[in-house]
Every structure is written in structure tokens, then in C-alpha cells.
Amino acid sequence: MRRHRERAMGRARPEQRGGPSIREFLRYYVLVLLDEKPFSARNLRRALRRRSRENQQFRPSGVLLASARDLRLVLQQLSRQGLIEQSGDEWCLTGSGRERLRAYEESKDANGTGKERAARKLLSLMGTARPGESTLDVGTGEGFLAFQLADKGYRVLGIDSGSFDYSKESIQSARSKAQSCGGQVEFRKTSVADLAVTRASFDYVVTSQAMHCMKDQRQCLDAICRLLKPGGTFLCMDFLVGLEGFLHHGWHCLLAISREEWRRLLPQRGFEEPDCHKAGDYLVVRARRQLNGQCGPC
């Protein structure tokens, strides 16, 4: 009951996170922490929570609470590779660990961010518009995806709640651009949850770099399910949870949903099994709304 009330007020507690994506991030970030000083496993978990605190600005539950089991697995793996060693109950970085860390830092400069690449992947997964097909772009901002979709022939509605200082004026500027482009694109200031209680429904719902900004991601997915026609397709591009995501986007990448979390969350919420595609430091996810499935409550 208390948990339900906290969620309703956007105060959900952090949940433990694990799985391959989080372990990939930990294999890097444990080296970063141990480069500063030795840590026990328990203090490493606390440090991760403290360092990710800025994520609370977006979502109160956004700090990283790494699963103790996954952290233990990563420590064992790094130790087997000779990158860290144990002294009493504390872990320290070895010379090879320091070299590995430098190599990670250099790889960061080598690869640029892949937003355009991810958008190309998302558009290719949509295929070609058939006459009359409608698309909703959730968290459209200034219409990054909406305009590209209108160019491909889709009828597009871009919505944005204007939730952040930087996004308050986004819809206004998207509307001004739309006047000069003359495509089939319209913009509205509203949240996805508010739109879902209307009778609106779409062939596609897309979203770019916005899922990680949602205060309540589960509620947002339930709303998206309701806004899709049965059999309609949801496509999402957002930061990759893992090493490349972290090297390019820092702690914000951990506000996004990892591929293993998508695979668990979507079938529970009225979608078919999703397919996930890595595009550099982004993840592109595609899932159809089940024909007879139930969406969660709005």
C-alpha cells in the first residue's frame, strides 16, 4: 500500500538492478572507483549509489542500487583477469587494471555519439508508410523524430509535457518549424498519461531519448500500450545501459531501460516480445502491442 502511494506520488524507491548491461557498466566503473582508493564490496555499492545521485533530479528512484550478487560476480571476474586484487576485505587496482582503465578512456574519444545512427535504425525498422498510417512521437521536444517521420509520409502528432526547464518552450518552437515545412505534422503540449485517457489511437508510437526522462516509466508504457491500436508498433531509441552508454552520457544512461529490462517489462504490459538493436551508444527497441492483450491501468 505504502509502495503504491509512493509510486503514485513519483517517490518510488530504487530497485536493485543487475543483468548483463549493469555488469558491463560495473566492470568499467569498479576500476574507476578503485583507481581513487581501495574499497570493500559494501562500500563500492554505497559509492555507486552516491555517485548516481544526480539521477534523482529526473526520477526519485533513479540512483543506482546495484545487485550485491552482480557486484560480487564482477569483482570475481576482474580479480581472475588480474585487474584487481584483494587485501583484507578491501579491493585494490593492479597495474594491469590501471592500463585497462586508460584503454577504456581512450575508446571514449574514438567513437562519437550515435543519435543520428539510432534514428536511421528506428526509421528503417518502421519500413514505409502506408496511406493514412498515424504516428505519435512521445516526448518529441523540438520534433527530432516527428519531422523525419513526416518526411517519410507518416501523419505525425508530436507531444511533450514541457516538464523540464529546457523543454518548456520546445513545443512552441516545433510548431513554428512545422508552419514552414508544410508536412503532416502537428504538436501538442500534453503528457503521455493525459493523452492516454482520451480516445486517441495510433498505428505507431515512437520515442527518442525520452524514456529515461519519464518520472514513472511503467505508467508511461501502460499509456503507450493504450495509445496503440491492437497490433500497432512501439519503437523507442534511448541511451544504451552499459559501457558505451556511460562513456558518452554518464549517469543519465542508467536512467534508461536495459535490454533485459525491456524484455521483462514489455510482455508484462500488453506487448509482444521486443527486438533490441544496439546502435553505438543507443539502444533501439521495437515491440508490437498484442492483438488480444490487456494494457496496464492508466
Ligand X SMILES: C[S@@+](CC[C@H](N)C(=O)[O-])C[C@H]1O[C@@H](n2cnc3c(N)ncnc32)[C@H](O)[C@@H]1O
* Interface ranges with ligand X (CB under 6 A): 138-141, 144, 159-164, 167, 170, 191-192, 208-210, 213-214, 220
Residue 61 or 140 having the CB closest to ligand X: 140
For residue 206, the minimal CB distance to ligand X (Å) is 9
Residue 2 or 166 having the CB closest to ligand X: 166
Residue 21 or 167 having the CB closest to ligand X: 167
Extract the C-alpha cell encoding 33: 572507483
For residue 9, the minimal CB distance to ligand X (Å) is 15
For residue 247, the minimal CB distance to ligand X (Å) is 19
- Position closest to ligand X via CB: 141
Residue 217 or 290 having the CB closest to ligand X: 217
Residue 33 or 145 having the CB closest to ligand X: 145
Residue 21 or 208 having the CB closest to ligand X: 208
For residue 93, the minimal CB distance to ligand X (Å) is 35
89 SS3 class: coil
For residue 19, the minimal CB distance to ligand X (Å) is 24
Distance CA 265, CA 273 (A): 9
Residue 207 or 258 having the CB closest to ligand X: 207
For residue 108, the minimal CB distance to ligand X (Å) is 21
Closest CA to 92 of 102, 104, 77, 82: 82
Kindly report the backbone phi and psi dihedral angles of residue 250, in degrees, each rounded to the nearest multiple of 5, phi listed first: 65, -150
Number of C-beta neighbours around residue 170 at 10 A: 22
Distance CA 171, CA 143 (A): 8
Extract the C-alpha cell encoding 233: 508498433
Distance CA 56, CA 247 (A): 20
Query: 7: Cβ–Cβ under 8 A, 6 or more apart, which residues?
Result: 216
Strands laid side by side in the 39-40 sheet: 39-40, 90-93, 84-87
DSSP conformation letters of 30-89: HHHHHHHS-EEHHHHHHHHHHHGGGGGGT-TT-S-EE-HHHHHHHHHHHHHTTSEEEETT
Distance of CA 269 to the CA centre of its chain: 17
For residue 151, the minimal CB distance to ligand X (Å) is 16
